Structure 1
Amino acid sequence: MAERDKAFVEFVEAATPSLRRTAYLIGGDRHKADDVVQETLYKVYLAWPKVQRAGNPFAYARRMLVNVAYDGGRRPWRREVTIAEVPEHDAHGGDFATGHAERDEVLEALRALGPRQRACIVLRYYEDLSVEQTAEILGCSESTVRSQASRGLDALRKAIDRRRSPAL
């Protein structure tokens, strides 16, 4: 195996779980997330020498992942009904059923956000990126990230409150 390919395989093994979770949270569907990650890694491989020279392949891949997810959402044949299915993750203890119910509430509310707000929320709070890093990945200003994240969090709070409040 060529040295280039070895380095790429190591990168894929290390980055795929995080890229897959991010793609799922942005797109809301496990199977679409797999497609987005596969297309992203294909594009990263094509640009691998350039990516390595840039020095931060994970940041490059994350930005490309967001772009691929956006592009896929614009194609009419890619618009499918999402399935409420959660990818595997590490359990952190606590009540299993309550944890799943709360996660399902958040995921449902997250799916209702627009693509830009959803990407801001996922990158800022799930991936724990700074405003600057998120702006760079999304190709927008820092003030746009702040406003989209703020509006997204407000929409998430309202959606979860509506679900938890009994209808009168």
Structure 2
Amino acid sequence: MPSTPFDEYVAARGMGLLRFAYLLTGDHHLAEDILQEALAKLHGRWSRLADTDQLTAYVRKAILRQYLTWRRRRSSGETPSELSLDFSAPGSDHAEALAERDSLWHALAGLPRQQRAAVVLRFYEDLDDDEIARLLKCSVPTVRSHISRGLARLRDSVHTVRGEAR
């Protein structure tokens, strides 16, 4: 069966989109679900979308919207317990690095959905304030506030794990 432009796009960009969804959700399975739902919604409109210059940005926006919608309807209190990213410094104590990473991950997972999305969009997607504001449908000062507050909570979490006074 010949592949379609949609299939080719997903094959080429799928892992990057999955990483983006994972950073938003903190859960690999949920990231897959959100990505799948977003792509399923876009599939029917693909012939109109495939010609746009900003296709990947459009798909990321669909993933972000799916994530924000999921967070609104989530009723369970589950939190992710693992992170596959390694934030440890070379030569540091492995157990200490794992504790710090776990704490950072839980802090990221505990951020309100808008703060978490703003932090991920800034530091993973490397978007500027204007683009984040457009995606989150809020003002630029609100984006800056989300990022500032989110980073403060993440810093406090790291200092708590290290036993440092703030």
Give TM-score, length-normalised by structure 1.
0.82
More helix by share: 1
What RMSD over aligned residues (CA atoms) do the two structures have, in Å? Answer: 2.7
Distance 1:92 1:130 in 2: 27
Distance 1:166 1:158, change over 3 A: closer
List alignment gaps of at least 5 residues for structure 1.
none
- Paired position in structure 1 for 2:124: 126
- Amino acid aligned to 2:54: N
- Paired position in structure 1 for 2:80: 83
Distance 1:132 1:140 in 2: 10
Q: Alpha-carbon deviation of 1:60?
A: 0.5
Distance 1:44 1:103, change over 3 A: farther
Distance 1:62 1:149 in 2: 19
List alignment gaps of at least 5 residues for structure 2.
none
Q: Alpha-carbon deviation of 1:127?
A: 1.6
Q: After the TM superposition, which parts of structure 1 deviate over 6 Å for at least 4 consecutive aligned residues?
A: 89-93
Q: Alignment identity in percent?
A: 37
User: Any conservation in 2 of the 1:113–1:152 contact (CA below 8 Å)?
Assistant: yes
Q: Alpha-carbon deviation of 1:59?
A: 0.4
Give TM-score, length-normalised by structure 2.
0.82
User: Which structure is higher in RCO with an 8 Å CA cutoff and minimum separation 6?
Assistant: 1
Q: Structure 1 residue 152 and structure 2 residue 156: aligned?
A: no
User: Any conservation in 2 of the 1:30–1:85 contact (CA below 8 Å)?
Assistant: no
Alignment: residue pair count: 163
Distance 1:105 1:130, change over 3 A: same
